[in-house]
Amino acid sequence: MATPIVVCGAAGRMGRLLVQLIAVDSGTTLAAAVEAPGHAALGRDAGEVAGIEPLGVRVAATYAPAPASVTLDFSAPGAALSHLEAAAAAGAAIVLGTTGLSPAERTRAEALGRRTRTVIAPNMSVGVAVLERLIATATTALGPAFDVEIAEVHHRLKRDAPSGTALRLGEVVAAAQGTPLAGRARFGREGEPGPRSDAEIGIVGLRGGDAVGDHTVYFLGAGERLELTHRAQSRECLARGALRAALWLAAQPVGLYTMRDVLGL
């Protein structure tokens, strides 16, 4: 039986791609498509909005998930929290890929997520999930003799910086060193900042062109340097990862999960 999927942010870049993939995936079916109140796509067929044949599902402003459905949320921070609340109340599973959440919003999202079946990840790529595992291993193996810096590149229209993925990679490094990222992250340098402190984890974001998303973690030691990089060549890798997470989550008990859980890492 096909898993019913609700797409929140259905008219956005990721939402349209998800609708396209769901339409040709025998394991899923589009149950509902949601957009913000006042959006130009409201009332239109979700398939047509996505640039494919009509699917018989019209884009709506109301989010009302059925318990058997799985929601894929790529909307906006405020809307995402509202959707999490509704999913938790309905006992519906939800995959949260919305980025740009503030620390307070993220804490709230995690608290809500524990009340139902939830995957929260700033990057749904399976490659990034593997990158997290590699980074944790490298951080532990190389030890404090190596400084760690993180660089990310995204298209010129991206609103938040640094990316949620870059922050997550910083958290992975800090956790492997036994500390939180808060108080250690250094977001760029200018002027005369002085020598780099041992505690710093540098994080810098570049914006331009149509770059989907590049993330590199640099381990800088005496006489050598290790670089671990993931490059997204299209958003399809993110959409496919999100669908994989949805199908996995449908069979899980109540709990808060990450993409590393989805992959068994």
Closest among 156, 249, 261 to 211, alpha carbons compared: 156
pLDDT at 100 over 90: no
> Can you point out the beta strands (E) in 111-176?
117-120, 147-154
Look at residue 99 in the predicted model and tell me its pLDDT. 87
Backbone angles phi, psi at 137, to 5 degrees: -65, -45
26/30 Cα distance (integer angstroms): 11
Total domains in the fold of the chain: 2
Same structural domain for residues 131 and 156? yes
Do 155 and 210 belong together in one domain? yes
pLDDT at position 151 over 90: yes
Q: Are residues 8 and 111 in the same domain?
A: yes
pLDDT bracket for residue 159 (50, 70, 90):
confident
Same domain flag for 80 and 114: yes
Helix (H) or strand (E) holding 225: strand 224-232
Q: Angle at Cα 136 formed by Cα 214 and Cα 211, nearest 5°?
A: 5
Residues 157 and 90 occupy one common structural domain: no
Mean pLDDT of 143-162: 96
Dihedral over Cα of 23, 51, 86, 246: its sign? positive
Percentage of the residues of the chain whose pLDDT score is greater than 70: 100
Q: What is the CATH number of the domain that holds 203?
A: 3.30.360.10
Same-domain check for residues 98 and 175: no
- In this structure, are 155 and 168 located in the same domain? yes
Domain that holds residue 84: 3-120+235-263
pLDDT (0 to 100) of residue 264: 96
Give, in order, the Cα–Cα distances in Å from 249 to each of 7, 148, 209, 227, 240: 15, 33, 35, 32, 14
Q: Is the model more confident about 38 or about 100?
A: 38
Active site residues: 154, 158
19-23, 99-103, 120-124: lowest mean pLDDT where?
Answer: 99-103
Do 147 and 104 lie in one domain? The reply is no
- Model pTM greater than 0.85? yes
SS3 track for 165-216 = HHHHHHHHHHHHCCCCCCCCEECCCCCCCCCCCCCCEEEEEEECCCCCEEEE
19 lies in the same domain as 63: yes
Give 64-76 pLDDT, tens digit per residue. Answer: 999 999 999 999 9
Are 162 and 72 within one domain?
no
Sign of CA dihedral 136, 142, 147, 153: negative
* Cα–Cα dist 255/249, whole Å: 10
Over residues 20-47, the pLDDT tens digits come to 999 999 999 999 999 999 999 999 999 9
Integer-rounded Cα radius of gyration of the chain: 19
Q: What pLDDT sits at residue 196?
A: 94
Average pLDDT of the chain to the nearest whole number: 96
Whether residue 137 sits in one domain with residue 116: no
Q: What is the mean pLDDT of residues 191-215?
A: 96
Residues 44 and 131 in one domain: no
Residue 241's pLDDT is: 97
Question: Residue 136: its pLDDT value, please?
Answer: 98
d(CA 148, CA 227): 10
Query: What CATH number does the domain containing 258 carry?
Result: 3.40.50.720
Angle at 138 between CA 135 and CA 143, to 5 degrees: 125
